[in-house]
Structure 1
């Protein structure tokens, strides 16, 4: 990112200001790993007293503490300034035509503030440090000379609101750290310069549509313990009144407590009719009548078309039996047809039966989505007759029966996520079974993208109000529209979407489907926008507030346990769970992982005719660089947990579930215990049988631990060995976990911690989980 050139008028001299106060009891700093000592976590307050000096001509800011001088920012090119005003505890100056700057002493921090007077953007600070503590997802400690991170971050520019889960960053040096709390999260970018070690450059833009032309920071000095580093931000959040515990949220909705000790499970049971529900010898002749050609006609207008199904019909006309592939194609066509509003034809279904006829007489266009599925199943049964089982049993073995089996296995709490709300509307007994088991069950929902025309395979991107596509989508500064997910369609302005949100949700719930949780995609990712559309200009703040209103609609008005993708902390006051803080989407732009199907790292596609799509269910290795920066415990810090452990339950992004990365299953489970993170599974009948033993063995230890730890604050964190592979975390005063990620046994306080194991201490009780042994229980091929 290029440094801006300022046309300035006059010079100013170096100015020193003291920031002083009564020194609290000294807090110990992060002990170098080589000393093999536990990190002290005694924190008395947010920040320690210090002095500072600043040169307005270069904006070089220097911190002085205990006789040590440390730069808080690198100097900008020397320029002239005006309006320099120095007072006892503050200093102000002007970069003419650009910004006014003020720095003021406030207790134990500096309040640094910028007001634009002509600048379209301003870059400050530019910083260097021995290492950086950054809230990337859960949190990372990044040494400035580390080759992995320098390679990964080389010349990268991150959008602040989307890339950082909390609004602070820290420069960790010997012997103290400098913490910047970002007071305006919008229109910020961070650029990583790796030309000479790793440096960070912060830039704020001042959009023309935004009347707020300011940004700034609070700057604190702390010890090097990660708990000391997060304390200023934690205090800042509490001071703002934005910190809401799970206990407080559960006062409004006691169902939130069903998340305590609950694994998070995506259940793949989308098929209304399955292989178990049909008699294939009897179906083949029926397809050659009117049903087969009718399905070809219906499907021809959909993405993917009907060519494959049409070819199968031709082939089976010459055969006496059907192979597995042909059965899959036929079932896929039947299930696609069952979802369509145009499925009914009096010619194809001349004798629909009295129950179906009552629904037809109501007017198909007036039927709810749930009633439409009821009708379509009745219609199909009227043609298949004894070639299909009774409708009440369709799809139940892979849904209702599976949920019952999961519950009978001993899993008393679970969050069940459905890939689409239609999966529940087409199968109410499954939703009822989840409720009866005491589980939470949620549909996936999204208001991120909008398509111009309806697509049954992407129903979240279509809204009955067709005017939204032209009148409520987000425009860039040049007037062009921002493309939707996968560059399809457009992105919907959330400030204009609420009527459609309510229309959709009321339609889904109108027949009493028993959803008690709701998953809203994207709204907590920080993927927020300025909309330059002339008829509805919208700032990023307004965009974010509209998303929070949407969360509150689900949480307050509909009494749903609400979760979202990401988990960036502006949403922490209302959502109860977030998927993506612990493992985000990895390497979105790497073609070997996303496009090249011959690559061993290819994560798989989004679609499967049956079963779990490979994108979610296929176990794959990960490139070594990504394994390091995303998953290596050496770099991990529980920054988010140190702030929000008792406020929001965080887990992996659904693309990166517990068993997704081949060879890292054990580390994922150890991480889940150390960081108090629910496992995330993708299950259908087959994968449940393959993974059941491993899942139950893990949950036997994890669930009771999480049940207790989730209502506590993370009170301590420690690195116990010089290789940083043995770490401990404490929750409240009585719960402690020691995780050994290494391949050899380690002794801690005379207690042997086996290789790849976690030991949990609850009061005087001690339990152990051996992750390496658990992985051997997986029966996947």
Structure 2
């Protein structure tokens, strides 16, 4: 039974006789722009759920046929066709709207019965997928066949609810109404194709799954325009300028590179007179620190004492000895239990109600009271490796920067550094996370430690089978976001209680799309409720405290709240590859998380090559399309995930720099005192050009994207009316009219002004 169904011919008036106008740059970013949708009719075969689009006399498949199934209750009008599948207990409705067709699938299964549906089944010459910034994947590409070898959760894999396929003559674009409970299964046996399976969980009362389907040109500008227009028409798009009305410091992001700054040695080598310290090794403070290490960490206090005792055997103190002693002391001064009257006879006892910042100040003073002349004044501790580095950055011309600290403790230990950063015009933020929760408190993983001990049993996520979802790296459990807000407020207000001048905040995982259904009987939670709770806690940071909020990932469900995102441009590369994560002898090993010296951990500082088979997936510009930037350039500032900063991939430094101009991406760096000296010239030279470019580009929508060469290695982007970047990723010069774009370079064109990037 095959029926001709529905015409979207009303689109002829909207789309200018099916010839879309390209954005002309006059759009401000918050009003709909020209409609690129195509008029089309569709054929549908209800028994197999096959749907075919017909545009300009040419047919293309919207959804491939599945196994035939009995049909009941078939009805057809000029605006609607509907039927039911009695065996699958599903009701199908296909509606004609002005700009699209809407496919609505409702589960008819009884209460407490799970159900699912597979739709659509997508194929084409190229797949259009919002993986990271966006990918255009040829149907027969072998690297992508290898990569797409497992099922993927849509929220976790796609940064926007937009996917599709390029056909011979036009493209089919799919916009699911929501992405909850959607699994993507790829078929790579022949060509790459994929099927979306939507689950109707028993805990979710919403039993309808909707997908809007459009026909458009084979052009990413059109695809992004269709989606952005939907956002604008439903008032779900917020520009950075609009966000800055309630968080003015957002404007400090314009032209700012993103810098993770490492300063874990609060008492550092510069602040210790080691000759005088050697004379104090018998002081009770050191035995006390050893006891605290034994009681509150996985390290050994005996080893700390052994290093101290070995000082008498050496004429000078070795770097290893210095590091071990400083690590022990810096660990101890973080503890609430640090004060002991017998150990600190001249020290002032802490107040009962002191906040965290006051505790660290008290503990540093207590330590100074016994080390005396062996250490510099407390206010100078760590200054050489923190505040002085930021001062030199400012002196070298870095007028704007987002400075991320690996933990709020780094700021509370050195509030003068944070104050200097804020006074210098920088944004300075702690890393924070409400992802994992551990049963036993651990100051070395304080983001997984919460004051309320009941949370571990009463507020963690349970799977259908009754097992708890484990936390990061297999430790602990995952905290249910709907039960987290009191703890968020308690932590944030506790961190800020001492007046620390953080003006930004970074939330780990909150915009990655890693969301859950929670089947815990006492707090059943749907994915949508999980999602909403993450937004609520980020909105609390922005609107209650005026902080510039960023998050890992950047999935667009968070776009109205966050100002910046880490992970859209370069995500974590191949998490499961043992050569990268386990085999320390491999040239691809990314490094360990821990730095014994308190500087940058090797995982973030060590440059490594990328395996050839991963380049197509993560770095090859021929597959990339700026879907996200075409929608959100002036709404969310996006850069790399912190594990893969601008200089991490050996041999691709220039290519990634060019791409940062093409896509208007802030460069990201990991810095400490030593690496700043090594990278200073590279960073400051690039900053002189990049900062001014970004400040202009980020306040306008991306209005165009073009591929200028057959091999797709020469591309251009346009921001607003006239700011254009042409990037040549090839090893051959490229002639663009009367302009030569040198190999492995880019050019910025702003009216009559041009700047070369090499």
**What TM-score does the superposition give when structure 1 sets the normalisation length?**
0.93
Q: 1:27 to 1:93 in 2, by over 3 A?
A: closer
* CA apart distance, 1:390: 1.1
2:39: which partner in 1? 49
Which residue, out of 103, 108, 114, partners 2:105?
Answer: 114
Tell me how far apart the structure 2 counterparts of residues 29 and 248 of structure 1 sit (CA, whole Å).
29
Query: What secondary structure sits across from 1:132 in the alignment?
Result: strand
Distance 2:372 2:607 in 1: 40
Question: Is 1:19 the equivalent of 2:19?
Answer: no
5 Å-filtered alignment, 1:378-527, equals 378-527=365-514
Alignment pair present for 1:150 and 2:145: yes
Q: CA deviation at 1:26?
A: 6.0
Following the alignment from structure 2 to structure 1, what is the Cα–Cα distance between the partners of residues 466 and 176?
Answer: 30
> Which residue of 664, 678, 697 maps to 1:676?
664
1:539 is aligned, of 506, 523, 526, to 526
SS of residue paired to 1:547:
helix
Closer, same or farther: CA 660–26 of 1 in aligned 2, 3 Å: farther
Number of residue-to-residue matches in the alignment: 740
Give the drift of 1:30: 14
Distance 2:72 2:370 in 1: 85
- The corresponding residue for 2:62 is 72
| Residues 96-148 of structure 1: per-residue CA shift (max 9 Å, x gap) | 14210000110120010010012621111112111111100100000011111
Match 1:712 to one of 676, 696, 700: 700
> How far apart, CA to CA, are the structure 1 residues paired with 2:293 and 2:266?
17
Distance change in 2, residues 1:421/1:22 (3 Å): closer
Does structure 1 conserve the Cα–Cα contact (< 8 Å) formed by 2:645 and 2:668? yes
Please say if residues 29 and 176 of structure 1, whose CA atoms lie closer than 8 Å, have aligned partners that are also in contact: no
Distance 1:117 1:501 in 2: 40
Q: Give unpaired runs (5+ residues) of structure 2.
A: 23-31
2:713 equivalent to 1:722: no
- Relative distance call for 1:228 and 1:128 in structure 2 (3 A) is same
Contact 1:30 1:223 in 2 (8 A): no
Q: Aligned partners of 1:526 and 1:306: how far apart in 2?
A: 41
Conservation of the 8 A alpha-carbon contact between 2:20 and 2:36: no
> What is the TM-score of this pair, normalised by structure 2?
0.96
The separation in 2 between residues aligned to 1:157 and 1:174, in whole angstroms, is 27
Contact kept, 8 Å, 2:137 with 2:623, in 1: the verdict is yes
Shift of 1:27: 6.7
CA distance, structure 1, for counterparts of residue 279 and residue 574 of structure 2: 48
Q: 1:423 to 1:624 in 2, by over 3 A?
A: same
Instruction: Select which of 675, 683, 704 maps to 1:695.
Output: 683
Cα deviation, residue 240, structure 1: 2.1
Q: 1:59 aligns with which of 46, 49, 53?
A: 49
Q: For the Cα contact (< 8 Å) 1:160–1:190, is it kept in 2?
A: yes
Q: 1:313: how far off?
A: 2.7
Correspondence for 2:258 among 244, 249, 264: 264
Give a deviation string over 1:549-597, Cα, whole Å, max 9, x none. 1011001011001000000000000110000000111111111111111
SS at match of 2:337: coil
SS in 2 for 1:416: strand
Aligned 8 A contact 2:33 2:229 in 1: no
Q: Which residue in the other structure is 2:214 paired with?
A: 220
1:139 maps onto 2:129 in alignment? no
SS at match of 1:342: helix
Which of 712, 715, 729 does residue 741 from structure 1 map onto? Answer: 729
Q: CA deviation at 1:291?
A: 2.2
Q: What SS is found at the alignment partner of 2:716?
A: strand
Preserved contact between residue 43 and residue 227 of structure 1 (Cα < 8 Å): no
Give the 5 Å matches for 1:317-332: 317-332=312-327
Q: Structure 1 residue 78: deviation in Å? A: 1.1
Q: How much does 1:43 deviate?
A: 7.7
Instruction: Give the corresponding residue for 1:104.
Output: 95
Deviation, structure 1 residue 296: 1.4
The Cα shift of 1:208 comes to 0.6
Conservation of the 8 A alpha-carbon contact between 1:476 and 1:482: yes
- 1:695-724 deviations in whole A, cap 9, x for unaligned? 111111110000000011101111111111
SS of 1:628's partner is helix
Q: What do residues 613-655 of structure 1 show as CA deviations (whole Å, max 9, x unaligned)?
A: 0111111111111122101001010000000001010000011
Deviation at 1:493, TM superposition (A): 0.7
State the Cα deviation string for residues 739-775 of structure 1 (Å, max 9, x = none). 11112221111101112111101121111111xxxxx
Which residue of structure 1 aligns with residue 25 of structure 2?
Answer: none
Where 2:194 maps in the other structure, the secondary structure is strand
CA–CA distance in 2 between the matches of 1:59 and 1:524? 34
Work out whether residues 563 and 578 of structure 1, in 8 Å CA contact, stay in contact via their aligned partners in 2. Answer: yes
Q: Aligned-pair distance for 1:29?
A: 9.5
C-alpha separation in 2, matches of 1:268 and 1:450: 24
In 2, Cα distance between the equivalents of 1:376 and 1:680? 34
Q: Deviations over 1:231-266 (max 9, x none)?
A: 221112112211000010111121100000000101
Change (3 A) 1:348 1:43: closer
Q: In structure 2, what is the Cα distance between the partners aligned to 1:287 and 1:636?
A: 59
Please point out which of 206, 220, 227 is paired with 1:233.
227
Stretches of structure 1 that go unaligned for 5 or more consecutive residues are 1-11, 32-41, 771-781
> Hey, what's the Cα distance between the residues in 2 that align with 1:305 and 1:700?
48
**CA distance, structure 2, for counterparts of residue 26 and residue 292 of structure 1:** 82
Please tell me whether the aligned partners of residues 100 and 212 of structure 2 are also in contact (alpha carbons under 8 angstroms).
yes
Alignment root-mean-square deviation, CA:
1.6
Give CA deviations for 1:404-447 in whole Å, capped at 9, x if unaligned: 11111111111110100011111010001001101111111111
Counterpart Cα distance in 2 of 1:304 and 1:589 = 28
The answer to whether residue 210 in structure 2 is matched with residue 205 in structure 1 is no
> Structure 2: how far apart are the matches of 1:664 and 1:13?
53
Which residue number in structure 2 is paired with residue 37 of structure 1? none
* Structure 1 Cα separation of the partners of residues 389 and 504 of structure 2: 19
Q: 1 CA distance for matches of 2:737 and 2:299?
A: 61
